[in-house]
Amino acid sequence: MFTFLGTSAGEQYPGVWCDCQNCHGARHLGGVNRRRNSCAILADHTLIDFGPAIPIQLDERGFSLLKVDTLLVTHSHQDHFFPWYLRWRYYPRGIANPPEGHEMGPVFTKPLPLTIYGNSRVRELTWDAIKGDPQNHHLDFVLLRPWESVVTRHLVCTPIKANHDPREECFNFILEYQGKTILYATDTAAFLPQTKEFLTDYRFDLVVMEGTLGFNQKYDASVSGHSNFHLNRETREWMLSSNMLAEKAPFVITHTGPHFAPPHEECAPLLAKWQLTLAHDGMTVHLQKQV
C-alpha cells in the first residue's frame, strides 16, 4: 500500500502566512482540504521525504518512525528534508539503561537501523545533524547517483534527474516493489530530455507527479522548478502514447500549492475530468499491476 502523508507544496495548504480565498477556504473546510508538506510511505517501512511535520504526519495516519528503516530523500529543500529529528536517534554503545547524564537523546530504546538515500547535500545535512557520528545514531547513508539503481531492504530504487533546482542534484524516483513499478516525481518541472528518454523503458503501475502551480496559465515550462496541472495532463498523455502507462493506471497529483488551485473538494473533480487523481493527505493507493 502506498500512502500519501503530505500533499502540499512548501508553504503548505492553507499557506502558513496566507488568508486568500483558497487558504481561507481550506482552513474553514478542514479535512482533505488541508495539506501538509509532501511525503509518502510505502507499506510501513519506506518513507519518501522527511519534512518538518513528519512525526505528526505519521502519527495521524497510524504509522510510526519506529518501523521506518528506509528513507529515500528527493532533495534537500526543507519541506522535503528536515534532518533535525535524526539527532534524537543518538544511542551510544555501552550505556546504562535507562541512560544517565545525556542532554540530548539518547532514546531509551535502541532505534531500528535506518538507511538514508540521497544526494550529497542531503548527506552533508545528515552529517551536521548527527555530528558526523552515524554509528551511534544507528544509521548509514547511501549516496545516490542518477540512473544508478540501488537495492534497499525492500525494493529497487532508481533515481532519475528532476528538473528542479540546479544548485543540487534533485531526484525523482522509480521504485520497483513486489512486481509493481511506481514513478514518484516531486519536485520537478517538465522532465528533462534525458529523463524522458530513460523513462520510456518503463511501464508504470502508479505515477505520482507534482502540480505545485495548479491551473496557472502563465507557467513557463522551459524553466526548472515546478509543474502545473496542464503539464501533468500532457505528461500523462505522453506516457499513454509511449506505452508507459495503461489507461486505468492511477496518475496522481501531489505537492499542490494554494494559489492556483482551489481547495481539494473543489479541485479534485476538475482534475478527474482529465483522468488525474488529486491526492490528499492520508490518501492510500493499493498497488495493482496494470495491464
Binding site for Zn ion (CB under 5 A): 10, 77, 79, 187
Which residues, including other chains, have CB under 8 Å from residue 142's CB and lie 6 or more apart?
115, 116, 117, 150
Q: Which is nearer to Zn ion, 16 or 151 (CB)?
A: 16
Instruction: State the nearest-atom distance from the C-beta of 40 to Zn ion, in Å.
Output: 13
- 67's grid cell: 518501523
Q: Which is nearer to Zn ion, 35 or 77 (CB)?
A: 77
| DSSP tag of 279 | P
Instruction: State the nearest-atom distance from the C-beta of 79 to Zn ion, in Å.
Output: 4
Instruction: State the nearest-atom distance from the C-beta of 75 to Zn ion, in Å.
Output: 6
Q: Which is nearer to Zn ion, 14 or 111 (CB)?
A: 14
Q: Which is nearer to Zn ion, 10 or 111 (CB)?
A: 10
Instruction: State the nearest-atom distance from the C-beta of 231 to Zn ion, in Å.
Output: 16
If you search the block for the grid coordinates 514513478, which residue do you land on? 183
Which residues, including other chains, have CB under 8 Å from residue 103's CB and lie 6 or more apart?
none
At 284 the three-state DSSP class reads strand
The CB density around residue 34, as the number of other CB atoms within 10 Å, is: 18
Q: Which is nearer to Zn ion, 79 or 281 (CB)?
A: 79
Instruction: State the nearest-atom distance from the C-beta of 152 to Zn ion, in Å.
Output: 22
- Answer yes or no: are the C-beta atoms of 211 and 261 closer than 8 Å: yes
148: nearest Cα among 139, 137, 157, 136? 157
Instruction: State the nearest-atom distance from the C-beta of 273 to Zn ion, in Å.
Output: 26
| One-letter amino acid of 146 | P
182: nearest Cα among 4, 45, 2? 2
The CB density around residue 132, as the number of other CB atoms within 10 Å, is: 9
Which residue's CB comes closest to Zn ion? 77
Q: Which is nearer to Zn ion, 46 or 172 (CB)?
A: 172
